Amino acid sequence: MLRSLLASILLMCSLYSVAQQKSTLRGTVADSTNKELLEMASVSVQDPKDSSLITYTLTDKKGAFVLNGLPENKAVRLLISYTGYRTYARILPADRTTDLGQIFLPLATRDLNTVVIEGDRPPVAIRADTIEFNAAAFKTRPNAVVEDLLKKLPGVDIDEEGGITVNGKKVSRILVDGREFFANDPKLATKNLPSNIVDKVQVMDTKTKQEAKMGVQKDGEDRTINLTLKPDKKKGLFGRLSAGYGTDERFEASGMVNYFNGPKQISALGSSNNLNKIGFSQGEMMAVAERKGGTSVMVSGGGIEVNGISFGGGGEGIRTASTLGYNFNDRWNDKANVNNSYFFNNTNARNYSISNRQRLIDNYNIYGIKDGYGRNSNHRVNFSVDIELDSVTQLSIRPSFDYTKQSANNNTDETTRDENNALVNTNKTTNRSLSNRYNFQNNIDFTRQLKKKGRSIGFNFSNTYNTQEGNAYIKSDRDFYENELVDSTANTNQRTVSDNKNENYRLQLSFNEPLSAAWKLNVSYAWNYNLSKSNRRTYNYNEGAKDYTELDSLFTNQFRTLNTSQQPQLSFVYASKDKKWNANLGGTVYLNVLDNYSYTDNTTLRQYQTNLSPNSRISYRFKNNGNLSLNYNGYMQQPSVDQLQPVRDNANTLNIRVGNPDLKPSFSQSIRFGYDRFSPTGFGIFSGIGITPVLNRFSTATRILSGGGQETKAINVDGTYSINANINVSKNKKAKDYQWRINGGFFGNGSKNINFSTLGNPKGDTVLRANSTMNWSLSPMLNFSYSYKELLDITMMYRPSFNAVKYSVTPPNSQNSYYTHRANVGATLYWPYNFSLENDVNYTYNSRTSPGFRKGVVLWNMGLAYDFFKDKSAQVKVSAYDLLRQNTSVRRMQSDYYIDDYQTNIVEQYFMLTFSYNISKFGAKPKTSNRRGQGGGFMIW
């Protein structure tokens, strides 16, 4: 089926290209005054009837351009623009010459009353560090969303999860007219806002407001997209409402409504479904869970948890998820920008899973069945105000609060066998838990530009306070075997009450001083105070009292950790006059004091640690828009309270975990070399290689207990590192009737981890010995997309992955290398009339799974939609999910201690009928003059 579809696509493309007769146009662009050749001028060709873009390019370093693929025997409109110059526009007749010779642009004259005619704007413009796309030059279908527009822009890639990269750099936030939109979550903007409200798409380096005000140079690894709105779309009501119901009582309902009135922006959203769709996207989950500092992400129990906040979702288990939220933006008294948002998320999950784990410590196999359900709800309130105290002073205040409630009930049945398949133990466990978490964060930024140009000071204060209270119950019955007969038993029936508190305060002072036209000095000092308290009390069940009244001192502890640090930083920033060289050379000194105190044992441990971390970035920009860079960064990570607290955690009775108060902070050093080259006309190459050695890396020491259990303790190790390399090459071609894009490359990474265990020891030998684990993977990738007019969209993807794991002490018969395949073919046909037919086929394959686990899966989804009403604002759609009934959730995980094959229940085949309606009511379009270009333009007929 896939081969037939691919052959049809290639045949269609070949026939189309043969059928078209094309011509070429060339010339050079120069300054009309001094005859200087202009590099990077935008040259585009449009259809004079509707101003639709046919093709475009940029001039090279000699001011020359060549435009291919122009229609013969047809008049076209030529546009040439360059920042600071008047726009050149000319109608070229059907019998035009192919060589225009030299074209001169006069300097622009500033005229505040000038209005840019939309057809005279170039499709792409580069202004300083910002790439700007003219949305009108990239046509989208009626009722298309911003994501559809972004897919048409050169250098912009969107993956299957909706993640965005521009020129190989990740987009972390999207602004709307420079304002936050739902906590800067990119997917909420791209998947909900209509594309026809966008005037320009601006891409720039991500900076905080203080960094932008103080002119701090960034490393360019993180991007922000700003969507500027059309003047006539800044006032109106718009949105989308959708509801669907299907077989097996499947349902989905969602809606977003936006009201914009100049600076005032009000948006509301809501959704509910039982299709395993996450209520919020991953970007928003990260925004909800944390604003600054470290982040931990855990996937378990069929859900996703970020810093202790569960969001459900993903592909595993069966979940019902509901969300509700609003976003408010306004500008008060022309001095303050105000933002307020609220989010609510509720998830009910049911998970049934089967796992097979090969434990590398002793080559034991653990077969488990788990049946559980859970409920998670979260409320989050954000507020921010940016105040312009005067023309050179800005104050920003950003408080936030969230509350999370979680409950879970899980039943587990496990059987452990040794390398000879002899029965070692069985374990039946019931876990129940209930927890409440409160979190408050606040961030205050103050910046002021001083009298001397480029001199500025900054002040930042942030604080966090959170508390988590929980009750957990565990009941476990374990049988231990000798010669297939029960030799002994162990029973656990406990209740654990936990009360954890954390408060953090950070103060930072910054000063910028220009030393010359090219050099600038940045000096800062940061002080950080972090106090964490953990009180864990475990009680055994008392049969006489019929309650949990017996305190178990082995699993009880009250602990406090206080971490104070000072971080003076000095850096010199260099920017050459020709903007080719950029450098940031400096370093940070980490002065860290860690105090650990156990109330239970009345013991104190104090650690002092000093690290010098050079932080440097050097980059060189070539004339062909290529960029070569070298980065070095060092950063410190503090151990968590759970890692420090010297108490046994028996949530898994066969894997007891113990904290270590002697644990030191880890220190990582990242070195990365990169080269990228991007042409707004459609070609790009992005590559890099990096290595990160880690000092005092957090690892574990594991001992085998009698009866097949194990005890794991946190430790520090040296000699570990990770390395990664990537290269990606892309080519984009846009013409009036079609557009295609192809990109390919590979991603490779490797790492060395060290842990200590009794692996390979003779029976009874409990001496810990080092075991190093080497992980390597290589993943080639090829993507192709093609669109023809507004009739056909096609996407194809193939990505194999080769993985290998090598252990210094390898158990016999361990399987530690495997490969996977991922492929996708998607096609949407917008024909006939208002109908559209969607097909999406995904193929996944894993070569190394345990017996009984499926290796390959084909997931085929199909949909047939019909748009109605004159403006196609409504749609009815019939969709089929998993036509072949093959969908399963199977995954393999490899760690330092085990190889785990895991299969869980999942949403299976269903059919659904969905109705959608687009709301679009805007004010009257403002009047514009007939004057052209920035500072004027001129037209030649």
Q: Which range scores top for mean pLDDT: 82-96, 229-243, 280-294?
A: 229-243
What tens digit of pLDDT does each residue of 305-348 get? 333 333 333 446 889 999 999 999 999 988 899 999 998 999 99
**115 has a pLDDT exceeding 60:** no
Which residues, including other chains, have CB under 8 Å from residue 869's CB and lie 6 or more apart? none
CATH 3.40.30.10 fits 1-116, yes or no: no
CB 827 within 8 A of CB 807: no
- Here the tokens at position 787 are 């669109």
Radius of gyration of the chain (CA): 31
In DSSP notation, 624-674 reads TSEEEEEEEEEEEEPPPHHHH---EE-SSTTEEEE--TTPPPEEEEEEEEE
Residue 633, SS3 per DSSP: strand
What tens digit of pLDDT does each residue of 519-547 get? 999 999 999 999 999 999 999 999 999 99
pLDDT at 293: 32
Least confident of 124-133, 479-488, 555-564, 783-792: 124-133
201: buried, middle or exposed (CB in 10 Å: 19+, 13-18, 0-12)? buried
- As a whole number of angstroms, the distance between CA 785 and CA 653 comes to 51
pLDDT band at 473 (very low <50, low <70, confident <90, very high): very high
In the 8-state DSSP scheme, what is residue 208?
Answer: -
- Here the tokens at position 475 are 């009941």
Sheet with 303-306: strands ordered across: 297-300, 303-306, 309-312
- Here the tokens at position 328 are 């408010």
At 5, phi and psi to the nearest 5?
-65, -45
Pairing of strands 87-92, 937-940: parallel
- As a whole number of angstroms, the distance between CA 28 and CA 18 comes to 30
What tens digit of pLDDT does each residue of 769-825 get? 888 888 999 999 999 999 998 899 999 999 999 998 887 875 544 557 888 999 999
Q: How many CB atoms lie within 10 A of CB 107?
A: 12
- Here the tokens at position 352 are 């049934």
What tens digit of pLDDT does each residue of 578-623 get? 888 999 999 999 999 989 888 888 888 888 888 888 889 999 988 7
At 118, phi and psi to the nearest 5?
-55, -40
Domain ranges for the chain: 1-116
Q: How many CB atoms lie within 10 A of CB 333?
A: 7
Quote the pTM value: 0.79
- Here the tokens at position 638 are 């503090």
CA dihedral 131, 195, 157, 7 (to 10 degrees): -130
User: How far, CA to CA in Å, does 759 sit from each of 361, 772, 813?
Assistant: 4, 11, 15
What tens digit of pLDDT does each residue of 192-225 get? 889 999 999 999 887 766 566 555 555 566 889 9
pLDDT at 707: 65
Pairing of strands 222-229, 169-176: parallel
Q: Which range scores top for mean pLDDT: 203-217, 277-291, 871-885?
A: 871-885
| Residue 425 identity | N
